[in-house]
Structure 1
Amino acid sequence: MEETLTPKEQEILLAIARQAVIDCVCGNGDYVEPREEQSLNVRRGCFVTIKQQGRLRGCIGNFQSELPLFKEVAAMVRASATCDPRFYPMKEEDLADFTIEISVLSPLEKIDDIEQIVIGRHGIYLEKGFYRGVLLPQVATERQWDRLTFLKQTCLKAGLASDAWKAEDCEIYLFAAQVFGEEENLC
């Protein structure tokens, strides 16, 4: 895993994300104040998850970014709020109750042996033909999945059969994430 963010840097990113959701939903544009912190200006992938009442409300991300991390977080949280096809775009009334979780990602690492997957440490990204699926490391931990269940669920998320990971043309990648978020009772 690349350099980890300090608690203060995590707070800054969470504040940027929260303001980006509010500005986006209220039509106030997408400007994000520049940051001087070096670690917030590196180009790293991230996923941003929005929850309402403890349930998933949106989650979108990128493994790589052409933007500094602080801008990528803002872009991904706006996409989570308005572009996740599983949910309707957030409205002003949704702003009364939501929390944000940010996963800052390490680079993808292709594996040939599923024994390399460590539950709680790795997320899985897999590709088979035009199908792609990703599950963040915390998903397996939250749902108490073992390695095989995690692989099967990643296949299903990609729209594949649960055993597609066994196919010779299925590529499996691992990544780590520094995960942090707002507490449910803060909103």
Structure 2
Amino acid sequence: MSEVLRLARQSLLASFGRATEPEEPQALSAPGCCFVTLTINGRLRGCIGSLEPHRSLARDIIENSRNAAFSDPRFPSLTGAELEQLKLEVSILGAHHEIEVSSEEDLISVLEPEIDGVVLSFDDHRATFLPSVWEQLPQPEEFIKALKCKAGLPENFWSEGMRWYRYGVQRVEGILSEHGQC
């Protein structure tokens, strides 16, 4: 089992008193950022993450695992009974690279579906979609419309002041079995 999954798993199990608090491995001590996505039977159950590194990658994995379980405002807190059905996905974000475009058509033409994670930033509006979102929104036009809506903007909105960034991820996933193993 990878250290990444071990940390996410142990963080969740410790929250329910089923494991000790995870120790942060030296191999994950460099600054890093991740998103932790929790699903049950293919349905989203929580997703929280960091867009910028502001602590060790190990600490980010631990904290985002707990936040996905207990602090995603779209869902009630995870219950101990749900642990047995839980699928974990940890997406470790790579560096962001600004996409220089002058129109939505330009943006759509340079995106790489299923590869690019995308960040939209405009004034106080900011949102991201991980590369895995392409599975639900495979058409770039729909992907961008949905990202704008997530950022609180109209789907047909465009401004020269919008900033677009792409990033890749390393994705690690596992399932918590009834014995607490990934």
Q: TM-score, normalised by structure 1?
A: 0.83
Unaligned segments of structure 2, at least 5 residues: 102-106
Q: Is the 8 A contact 2:137 2:143 kept in 1?
A: no
CA distance, structure 2, for counterparts of residue 172 and residue 163 of structure 1: 16
User: Which of residues 143, 146, 156 is equivalent to 1:153?
Assistant: 146
Q: Is the 8 A contact 1:32 1:71 kept in 2?
A: no
Partner of 1:170: 162
CA distance, structure 2, for counterparts of residue 163 and residue 146 of structure 1: 15
Partner of 1:4: none
Deviation of the 1:32 alpha carbon: 2.4
Secondary structure at 1:120 match in 2 = coil
Aligned residues: 173
Deviation of the 1:105 alpha carbon: 0.5
Secondary structure at 1:49 match in 2 = strand
CA distance, structure 1, for counterparts of residue 54 and residue 176 of structure 2: 31
CA distance, structure 1, for counterparts of residue 155 and residue 17 of structure 2: 41
CA distance, structure 1, for counterparts of residue 44 and residue 154 of structure 2: 24
1:22 aligns with 2:13: yes
User: Which of residues 51, 76, 87 is equivalent to 2:64?
Assistant: 76
Report sequence identity in percent. 27
CA distance, structure 1, for counterparts of residue 176 and residue 83 of structure 2: 14
User: Which of residues 94, 116, 127 is equivalent to 1:122?
Assistant: 116
Deviations 1:4-31 (A, max 9, x none): xxxx6xx2211210111121244978x3
Secondary structure at 1:119 match in 2 = coil
Partner of 1:180: 172
Partner of 1:138: 132
List structure 1 runs of 4+ shifted beyond 6 angstroms.
184-187
Deviation of the 1:168 alpha carbon: 1.5
CA distance, structure 2, for counterparts of residue 26 and residue 179 of structure 1: 27
CA distance, structure 2, for counterparts of residue 36 and residue 126 of structure 1: 33
Partner of 1:32: 22
Unaligned segments of structure 1, at least 5 residues: 1-7
Partner of 1:3: none
